[in-house]
Amino acid sequence: MNAALRISVSSLRAHKRRFAGTFFAVFLGVAFLAGTLVMGDTLRAGFDSMFGNAAEGTDAVVRSADTITTPGESQGVRRPVDTALVKTIERTPGVAAAAPDIQGAGQLVGSDGEPVGGQGPPTLAGNWIDDPRLNAYRLAEGRAPAKSGEVVVNRGAAEKGHLKIGDTTTLRTPDPVPVTIVGLATFGGEDGMAQVTFTGMTQADAEKYLTAKPGEAASIRVRAGPGVDQRALVKDLEPALPEGVEAITGQESAQENTDMISSQFLTLFTTFLLVFSGIALLVATFSIHNTFAIVVAQRARENALLRALGASRRQVTVSTLAEASVVAVIASAVGLAGGVGIAAGLQALFPAIGFPFPEGELVIGALSMLLPLAVGVVVCLGSALFPAVRAGRTAPLAALRETSVDRSGTSRARAVVGGGLAALALGSTLTGVLADPSLWLAGLGAVLALAAFVVLGPVASTTAVRILGSPLATLRGVTGGLARRNALRSPGRTAATASALMIGVAVVSLFTVFGASLKATMDQTVSRSFAGDVAVSTPSFGAGGSGLSPKLAPAIARQPTVENAVGLGRGVAEVNGSGRALTVTDPVTLGKVFDLGEVRGSLAGLGTDGIAVTEQEADRQHLRTGGTARLTFTDGEQRDFTVRAVYGRSELAGDYVITRAAWAPHRIQDSDTLVAVSFKDGVSTADGRAAVEKVAQRFGNPEVQTRDEYAQSSAGGIDMMLTLVYALLALAVLIALLGIANTLTLAVHERTRELGLLRAVGQTRAQLRAMVRWESVLVAAFGTAGGLALGAFLGWVLVKASDGASDSSFAFAMPPVQLVVVALVGLAAGALAGLRPARRAARLDVLRAIATE
């Protein structure tokens, strides 16, 4: 054991360079993983203290007890409470102060005319609570709003919109409200609650613009008198509250807020990052395994000598594993430090890009250190296991043989196992996609397909490299020919090196194909359902934005060029007990501007007691025309509605349609998400659009888009997501490239004498460099081609399985341009990976290379 360790340590010292690639692969994977965990913990702790600070003075929150949650939404809609309740509460013993908290959507327009925020986090507006201890926001500069039109905004939002005290701008509620900024506020010591924007107005303004009727508030904040703790306060309050209204402690409220941001943002964010560190580590596994396999092969004579001198199999295996452990532990430990560095860097970087990362110490939990450390060591040792066992099996006689022959490419067993896996993968996915739609079967198939690709790699690599490399010999002469043959030399090694890149490229292509398919789906939806000429919308995504004024559609409809204009609002209600989103609109015009498919019954007569339902939803809820559905609104009112029409297509119109008149008594803050416009015959798109834009100008300047533009912007979030995904996958691709570079460096080392010979008989340095580079490009081309094929297949599986498993129909699209770009990037990356080994090879001393032993 001691001898084995001594050997491994001295061999590590002698071959430091060989392990540089392994070291970086482990380091990057562990650093990314640790960084993600540390950042997640730090963010969570930051939000925790932020909400804690903000809610410090609030001892209890009074609000309505019920929420209505629609499918696919984590946060329900809560009914407002009566502001008159404030008086009752103030009279309750133990209460020092109470204030209504009116909240709604309000999007500021920046000094450049562009809306502030709206891409993700909510854009909120509310009443400015004068009691500073009840207000979650603190006045940092200026003063509180005193009269109508005056507002306080959080400092982060002001900076983003380049607004300062004294500026006049527009607040979309969604009706444009002219406001003057009189103060800037902070939230829990920060410039804002993450990226949420907040505009505080007078209570009168808030009631006027943010609620459907005066006298309503989202909740009432209560402060306890001296000596009354939060629990006692809640107990005191409870008897005073009407039915359907509840009181919770300030702490519980803060906790709810933290939980909400955790579930909506943090968990998603960290899971997302963890998935990508998983991919990076998977790629690293291939790189590491390959390095050890090559090192063991190169050291066959050395190991054979050890065996001949009496070392046991176990000793040789253990010494190789010991080497791996040393690399693993050092690289993982350095990786942990790197991870903390990444988290610290992001903490510094986020505020710079306008994302207020809560201040405070980095939270370095035991789990965030132990988990990446364990993963790093396990990945490294696991990858080295097979090569180590092979090292132990070295026959003592191998010391006398020149080199061993690589048979991995030609193994029949491999071809049979790989073929079997591929067949299973195909069978499972086809069943899961076509015969019996099941995401589970399709997913299993995807994993099997990946395994089949990896197993079949060496079998396929000979043929693939031969084909991919054939233009090279013709184009680049003997240099290209030599590169091609070098790539063909060791099919197992070529395949293992390429596999790492293949996985990276496969995931990139998968997302590319899936993204393009989602866009195509949007496109298909819009072109199938949207019969209008232009759409007016506020481009937003997530909870941001304030929507459109309900007055916009009627104003547009009055234009002489416009045939029809219909606004689509959103409401929620429980239909026969389950939460559902409602489309609040003018059903008759809706039928004209949207293609609703086959309509049974009539959209004309919905009135105040009728609804229209899609066929699919009608089936699910067992509704039919003439039937009755019981709707429970957020204000608690229950009403029976008659189903007057059943329509075929729900894509843009939603599952339920209700008239504005029927919705009005239950509305909260009125806004439309979309206004669809069709022009009169003979009106050109340009003329019609100009007219609509002129009207839109008066309503906070929302965007007016043609059908195509609307389809594209509906998919805007997808591009943003893809960019993020690509950035994260760059890490996996980088590790794969390190793997290629490392393999090549080892190969160059192995071929020292051959390279020396080539140089002696007249290969110039430039030719030698080109030869190594082209080999690198070929290996990368093989990996890229495999990755594209696998990624496209997995993309197809994902799209088809989603299509089969959900109600909405998905279109499949292969984006040729993007995939060509992926291919080119893969090749360029290969050339890049070859640079350093090529330079090293070219620096080779001819004499030393050809010197006889």
Partner 1 sequence: MTTTTATRDAARVTDAVKVYGSGDTAVRALDGVSVGFPAGRFTAIMGPSGSGKSTLMHCAAGLDTLTSGTARIGGTELGSLDDRRLTLLRRDRIGFVFQAFNLVPTLTVAENITLPMDLAGTKGSRDWIDALVDVVGLRDRLHHRPAELSGGQQQRVAVARAFAGQPDVVFADEPTGNLDSRSGEEVLNLLGRAVRQMDRTVVMVTHDPVAAAHADEVVFLADGRLVDRMESPTADRVLDRMKAFDAKGAPS
Residues that bind partner 1 (CB under 8 A): 477-479, 481-482, 485-486, 488-489, 753-754, 757-767, 846-847, 850, 852
Q: Is there a cis peptide before residue 356, judged by omega within 30 degrees of 0?
A: no
Min. distance of Cβ 853 from partner 1 in angstroms?
A: 9
Min. distance of Cβ 13 from partner 1 in angstroms?
A: 24
Min. distance of Cβ 298 from partner 1 in angstroms?
A: 16
**What is each CA distance from 762 to 113, 479, 765, 766, 835, in whole angstroms?**
68, 12, 9, 11, 21
Dihedral sign computed on CA atoms, order 132, 138, 143, 147: negative
User: Nearest Cα to 380, choosing from 332, 450, 319?
Assistant: 332
For partner 1, which is the closer residue by CB, 624 or 753?
A: 753
Min. distance of Cβ 390 from partner 1 in angstroms?
A: 23
> Which residues, including other chains, have CB under 8 Å from residue 1's CB and lie 6 or more apart?
315, 318
Q: 802 is written with which tokens? A: 């989603």
- Contact between residue 571 and residue 556 where contact means Cβ atoms under 8 Å apart: no
Min. distance of Cβ 19 from partner 1 in angstroms?
A: 27
> If you compute the radius of gyration of the chain from its CA atoms, what whole number of angstroms results?
33
Min. distance of Cβ 435 from partner 1 in angstroms?
A: 48
For partner 1, which is the closer residue by CB, 48 or 775?
A: 775
CA distance 196 to 545: 11
Min. distance of Cβ 786 from partner 1 in angstroms?
A: 23
Min. distance of Cβ 754 from partner 1 in angstroms?
A: 6
Q: Which single residue is written with the structure tokens 């099941």?
A: 438
CA distance 34 to 53: 28
For partner 1, which is the closer residue by CB, 211 or 490?
A: 490
For partner 1, which is the closer residue by CB, 635 or 754?
A: 754
User: Nearest Cα to 842, choosing from 760, 765, 781?
Assistant: 765
CA distance 607 to 332: 68
Min. distance of Cβ 295 from partner 1 in angstroms?
A: 21
For partner 1, which is the closer residue by CB, 10 or 764?
A: 764
For partner 1, which is the closer residue by CB, 410 or 616?
A: 410
Min. distance of Cβ 415 from partner 1 in angstroms?
A: 24
CA distance 355 to 29: 25
For partner 1, which is the closer residue by CB, 531 or 846?
A: 846
Main-chain phi, psi angles of 637, to 5 degrees: -75, 140
- Contact between residue 324 and residue 293 where contact means Cβ atoms under 8 Å apart: no
CA distance 142 to 825: 53
For partner 1, which is the closer residue by CB, 463 or 809?
A: 463
CA distance 463 to 487: 11
- Maximal C-alpha separation, the chain: 102
For partner 1, which is the closer residue by CB, 487 or 736?
A: 487
For partner 1, which is the closer residue by CB, 204 or 766?
A: 766
Q: 830 is written with which tokens? A: 């290969």
SS3 string of 53-110? HHCCCCCEEEEECCEECCCCCCCCEECCEECCHHHHHHHCCCEEEEEEECEEECEEEC
Min. distance of Cβ 478 from partner 1 in angstroms?
A: 4
What angle do the packed helices 491-529 and 439-489 form, to 10 degrees? 140
Min. distance of Cβ 484 from partner 1 in angstroms?
A: 9
For partner 1, which is the closer residue by CB, 367 or 760?
A: 760
Sort 171 into a burial class: Cβ within 10 Å, 0-12 / 13-18 / 19+. Answer: buried
For partner 1, which is the closer residue by CB, 486 or 589?
A: 486
User: Nearest Cα to 300, choosing from 401, 451, 383?
Assistant: 401
For partner 1, which is the closer residue by CB, 536 or 747?
A: 747
**What is each CA distance from 814 to 513, 515, 686, 727, 792, in whole angstroms?**
6, 10, 32, 21, 8
Q: Which single residue is written with the structure tokens 């690289």?
A: 331
Min. distance of Cβ 820 from partner 1 in angstroms?
A: 31
